[in-house]
Amino acid sequence: MHFMQSLRQAWTRNDSLVCVGLDPEPAKFPAHLRGAPDAVFEFCRAIVDATADLVCAFKPQIAHFAALRAEDALERLIAHIHASHPGIPVILDAKRGDIGSTAQHYVTEAYDRYGADAVTLNPYLGRDSVQPFLDRADKGVILLCHTSNPGAADLQDLDVGGKPLYQHVAQIIARDWNSHGNCALVTGATWPEQLGEVRALVGEMPLLVPGIGAQGGDVAAVVSQGRTADGTGLLISSSRAILYAGQGEDFADAARRATQALRDTINPYRLG
Ligand SMILES: O=c1ccn([C@@H]2O[C@H](COP(=O)(O)O)[C@@H](O)[C@H]2O)c(=O)[nH]1
């Protein structure tokens, strides 16, 4: 199914704008899993199975797997999500971006090797670097616009002809790159004012919003600035605050409670 279709259906079916980030850090795993065979896969699978009915997407961050030589666990994890929780889209957070010939290999990596439904990209190299991803009309292309980190302002806020660079990024993508309707933008929860400005520029385009939870973003501000008229339009992503909500053998139950609490905090703000 088309990424945008699955996303819309998941928003409705699970009544949720929550995206659970899958960022395995073995040092934070519960004791019984630390050092266990296949611990990365087992940990992430338990989180996925405990939260799948509460989310609109999962977002594995590729560096967390690659640094552990656990790419194989990532492949199996995404296959597991598709097999056991069909209809929940998987966003590969890879922030890729390179010249066209190399970009084609990143397309193969994200969609054919890992089976992701969408991938995060850095738009800095321009249209041709993103074109091979845009051409896969059934897949989501999620471009960095205004990131959640403190240094986001260093370049993204630079004045370019009277308005900040991130607003040009938002406008160019919405106007010129989205002919298949498969684009979305990353706008950090820690910058709600900028998020609202992006929303005003891009209509109904989905916004992936990291920075809730461990980075301290404010749920009320994010939802009021970023929701669309129908109370959707956002994938509000949280990783550490959910993954490591519990330290014991019941870590997956703790992750479920944290996900439910986030969904229940978000939902009252969705319809104003
Ligand atoms: O602007 C951005 C873009 C991506 N991220 C990624 O999201 C998660 C955030 O993790 P938390 O534990 O919820 O803080 C992580 O994978 C980042 O690489 C981001 O934080 N900001």
Domains of the chain: 3-269 (3.20.20.70)
pLDDT for 1: 83
The answer to whether 95 is a known catalytic residue is yes
pLDDT for 271: 85
Q: What average pLDDT does range 42-52 have in this prediction?
A: 98
Q: Is 93 in the pocket of ligand 1 (CB under 6 A)?
A: yes
Contact between 211 and 170 under an 8 Å Cβ cutoff? The reply is: no
Indicate if the pLDDT at residue 15 is higher than 90. yes
Q: Is 206 in the pocket of ligand 1 (CB under 6 A)?
A: no
pLDDT for 35: 84
**Locate tokens 């259906």: which residue?**
9
Residue 45 Cα distances to 83, 135, 199, angstroms: 12, 31, 34
Task: Please give the single-letter amino acid code of residue 189.
Answer: A
- Kindly state the percentage of the chain with pLDDT values over 90: 98
pLDDT for 28: 97
ipTM of the complex: 0.99
Give the residue among 109, 90, 40 at the shortest CA–CA distance from 68: 40
Q: For residue 204, how far is its CA from the centre of ligand 1 (angstroms)?
A: 23
Identify the residue whose C-alpha is closest to ligand 1 atom 6. 210
Q: What average pLDDT does range 122-139 have in this prediction?
A: 98
Q: Is 156 in the pocket of ligand 1 (CB under 6 A)?
A: no
Q: Taking each helix axis from N to C terminus, what angle separates 192-202 and 219-226, rounded to the nearest 10 degrees?
A: 20
Q: For residue 92, how far is its CA from the centre of ligand 1 (angstroms)?
A: 12
pLDDT for 182: 98
Distance from chain centroid for Cα 60: 8
Indicate if the pLDDT at residue 41 is higher than 90. yes
Q: For residue 234, how far is its CA from the centre of ligand 1 (angstroms)?
A: 15
Average confidence score pLDDT of the chain: 97
pLDDT for 224: 97
Indicate if the pLDDT at residue 272 is higher than 80. no
pLDDT for 186: 99
